[in-house]
Amino acid sequence: MELRRYQVDVINDVRESMKNGHKSVCVVLGCGAGKSVIQADIAKSATAKGNKVQYLVHRGELCDQIRKTFTAYGVDMSRCEIDTVQSYRRHITPADLLLIDEAHTNMKAYQKIFETLPDAYKIGFSATPVRLSEGGLGKLFTKLVVGVSTKWLIENGYLSEYKYYSVPMADFNGVHVRAGDFVAEEVNALLENRAVYAGAVQQYLKFAKGKKTMVYCSSIRASQETCAAFRDIGITAAHLDGSIPQKQREQIVQDFRNGDIQVLCNAELFSEGYDDKLIDCVILLRPTMSLSKYIQQAMRCMRPYEGKTAIIIDCVGNVYRHGLPDDDREWTLLPRKKQETVVKIRECTNCFAVYSPSLTSCPYCGFFAQKEIQTHNKKVVKIDLVEVERQNKIKNMKPKDAELKTWEEVVEFQQLHKYRFAWALHYAMNHGIKTPSKYNYMKRFLKG
């Protein structure tokens, strides 16, 4: 695990910052820059001097992964504890150095820990050191150490090149925002829809057929149904969420790593900390106002191997909110500025690719760019909240209370309630509703 030059520079910058009086430093490095190796080197140096190191993660699944990395690197694990922030917050023990992974998460928990251990040195790591409702991480850290950019990592082969396609499946203009992000119930009402599941499969076949793919869904149901849609066309797919027993989750993840599963659909998992360089494609089916969540999910397919070009299929318009994964961004510890971030991109009207506005033609298909930067103007599956509410009302209605007068209304009721088709014919016959002539033979059979 020999350190790369830019990783050495980051470690030296952190040490210099601490020499200058900063006891809480936040390191900014893009996904795939090798943060765990940097953390291991710092922990090894600290434990070798007899210091107690506490390493904090936000998900329990990551503890074993980082423990293996630290052990392989030569960290004295008798002086280094690894725990989740939630667990450590309840039982804070003395430490000389706190190493914090994904420092933009769990703000209140870290504030309590920092206050309890004022003399400990704190080093946080994040690819996106911002929070939805607050902006910069100035409440925790006094110094930012900014490493190399995502663009630099791509140019120097530490991340793969990528192609980005945007084919939104729903219109989110009517969805409300709460606590800085879209209201989950409204998002789910839009995306828990067969047209969306089928659309995601269609785009996969168009842009990434045969490639190992991670799908980020908005809900457990959406993930399950999307998985089923892939299976229906013969693609090996699996669904994962936090409610699945750990051993079963581990087996599914291992099968995905081994290639026995081609498409892995998940709800609120694998945004951070999961590395698999053989993932070629991600499909975004979870809209978010969070830059951190977007970057973590979009870049999950960009770990490099020889000749790789990653594919990002954005079905929810996240690129219009945040820009491309390797856009240059200015980071600060200051609170959020009031003005909105200006997203500058071009969108190819021929192949739906999204690319930098500095280019005069699409880098994927060569189609000449429009003079003005393109905005969200493609055809989408229009599913508005009023229609969703109408359908939900029908779903909750009992047949005896329904006032169905036409065959179309009967069929809609039957489909929303997932009744057998024969129910629709029976209902129509019993209520004197005219059915299409092509079903006459079935009605004779039912009568007989």
Q: What is the rounded average pLDDT of the residues 396-415? A: 88
Give per-residue pLDDT as tens, 37-92: 999 999 999 999 999 999 998 877 778 889 999 999 999 999 999 999 999 999 99
Do residues 212 and 349 share a domain? yes
CB atoms within 10 A of CB 101: 22
Under DSSP, the state recorded for 147 is -
Give the DSSP H or E segment for 407.
helix 407-416
CA distances to 46, 121, 278 from 36, rounded to whole Å, are: 15, 18, 19
Residue 303: both structure tokens together: 């770990």
Do residues 320 and 296 share a domain? yes
CA distances to 14, 148, 307, 348 from 262, rounded to whole Å, are: 41, 32, 20, 28
Q: What is the rounded average pLDDT of the residues 113-131? A: 92
Distance CA 241, CA 159 (A): 27
Give per-residue pLDDT as tens, 153-198: 999 999 999 999 999 888 888 888 887 889 999 999 899 988 899 9
Q: Which residues face 131 on adjacent strands?
A: 135
Evaluate whether residue 273 is within a structural domain. Answer: yes
Evaluate whether residue 362 is within a structural domain. Answer: no
**Tokens 């920092």, located at residue:** 114
Distance CA 233, CA 178 (A): 37
Does the pLDDT value for residue 215 go beyond 90?
A: yes
Choose among 200, 214, 218, 193: nearest CA to 268.
218
Mean pLDDT across the chain, nearest whole number?
87
Do residues 51 and 121 share a domain? yes
pLDDT of residue 443: 57
Q: What is the rounded average pLDDT of the residues 425-441? A: 81
Evaluate whether residue 336 is within a structural domain. Answer: no
| CATH number for the domain harbouring residue 65 | 3.40.50.300
Q: Which residues face 97 on adjacent strands?
A: 53, 121
Distance CA 289, CA 285 (A): 13
Does the pLDDT value for residue 240 go beyond 70?
A: yes
Do residues 297 and 225 share a domain? yes
Choose among 228, 212, 267, 202: nearest CA to 238.
228
Evaluate whether residue 374 is within a structural domain. Answer: no
Does the pLDDT value for residue 380 go beyond 80?
A: no
Do residues 228 and 301 share a domain? yes
Domain of 204? Answer: 154-327+344-355
Question: How many domains in the chain?
Answer: 3
When mean pLDDT is compared across 139-148, 322-331, 354-363, the lowest value belongs to 354-363
Does the pLDDT value for residue 344 go beyond 80?
A: no
Q: What percent of the chain has pLDDT over 90?
A: 53
